């Protein structure tokens, strides 16, 4: 399968925007990716070994969090896995009447 | 120091987006390529703000939309260089929320103050550092490139 690497993490995989992995599941694909590129691990996983909350994983067009088998979902050679850090923010909160 | 190089048309487009969505926050992605002194951006891609519950002071781009934006960037041999959003009636300075939710290290975060519906100051902040623990925003000069005659 192909794992697409987001801009901030490309320096940990030799500057590539994609890495080819042979794996049976999403979890094993991530395990192989981080075994080959150990510096990626702390960016993808927290101290408990769980995927960090702000890291989104998309198997093709599906959010892995919402797949029935989640990270144990089976994958094939033609699948793509996108690693997408979240994007959010906003201006300081101002109570109604102070704006 | 990292510099954000923006064509005049892209600069105008992201500011216009903030005016169109006022009093709500706008958001989008910047596509471009890394250059010696920072990022050369070539296009701004508008995104929907999924924070419809609090769109006047919060923004969020759905990851599904980000996947599509990144796919399009790859198709054009470009990278996601950063993101932009607006602060309706608030200064163009990053907030605690902006910082807490910033995870694209090495990328640009552009903020436009939209005052009473009119785009005012636009600033860029470079998310420096190598981890969540040492990340920091650094003010980033914006070099606006005028169209060639």
- The ipTM of this complex is 0.91
Compute the nearest-CA separation of B110 from chain A (Å): 12
Q: Please give the CATH topology (third level) of the domain spanning A2-85.
A: Ubiquitin-like (UB roll) (3.10.20)
**Taking the model in full, what pTM does it have?**
0.94
Cβ neighbourhood burial of B116 (10 Å; 0-12, 13-18, 19+): exposed
Within an 8 Å CB–CB cutoff, is residue A82 touching chain B? yes
Question: Domain ranges in chain A?
Answer: 2-85
Contact A86/B at CB under 8 A: yes
Distinct helix (H) and strand (E) counts, chain A:
2, 6
Kindly report the nearest CA distance between residue B6 and chain A, in angstroms: 18
Chain A residues in contact with B107 (beta carbon < 8 A): 7-8
Tokens representing residue B126 in the block: 């470079």
| pLDDT tens digits, one per residue of A45-71 | 999 999 999 999 999 999 999 999 999
CATH number at residue B27: 3.40.140.10
CA distance A54 to A25: 21
Give mean pLDDT in consecutive 10-residue pieces for chain B, a chain of 149 residues: 96 98 96 97 96 90 96 96 96 95 97 98 97 96 91
Measured from the Cβ of residue A2, the count of other Cβ atoms closer than 10 Å reads 14
The tally of domains found in chain B comes to 1
Residue B47, domain extent: 3-145
Select from A55, A61, A88 the Cβ nearest to the Cβ of B101. A88
């Amino acid at each position: 399968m192909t794992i697409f690497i987001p801009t901030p993490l490309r320096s940990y995989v030799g500057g590539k925007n994609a890495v080819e992995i042979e794996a049976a599941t999403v979890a094993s694909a991530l395990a192989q990716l981080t075994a080959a590129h150990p510096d990626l691990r702390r960016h993808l996983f927290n101290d408990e070994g769980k995927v960090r909350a702000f890291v989104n994983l998309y198997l093709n067009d599906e959010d892995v969090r919402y797949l029935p088998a989640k990270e144990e979902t089976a994958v094939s050679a033609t699948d793509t896995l996108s690693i997408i850090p979240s994007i959010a923010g906003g201006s300081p909160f101002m109570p109604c009447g102070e704006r | 120091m990292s510099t954000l190089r923006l064509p005049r048309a892209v600069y105008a487009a992201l500011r216009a987006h903030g005016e169109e969505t006022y009093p709500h926050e706008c958001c989008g992605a910047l596509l471009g390529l890394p250059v010696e002194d920072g990022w050369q951006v070539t296009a701004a891609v508008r995104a929907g703000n999924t924070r419809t519950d609090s769109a006047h002071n919060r923004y969020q781009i759905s990851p599904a939309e980000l996947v599509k934006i990144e796919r399009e960037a790859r198709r054009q041999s470009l990278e996601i260089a950063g993101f932009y959003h607006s602060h309706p009636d608030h200064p163009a300075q990053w907030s605690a929320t902006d910082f807490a939710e910033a995870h694209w290290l090495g990328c640009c975060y552009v903020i436009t103050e939209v005052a009473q519906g009119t785009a005012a100051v636009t600033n860029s902040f470079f998310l420096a550092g190598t981890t969540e623990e040492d990340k920091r925003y650094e003010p980033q000069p914006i070099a606006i490139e005028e169209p060639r005659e």
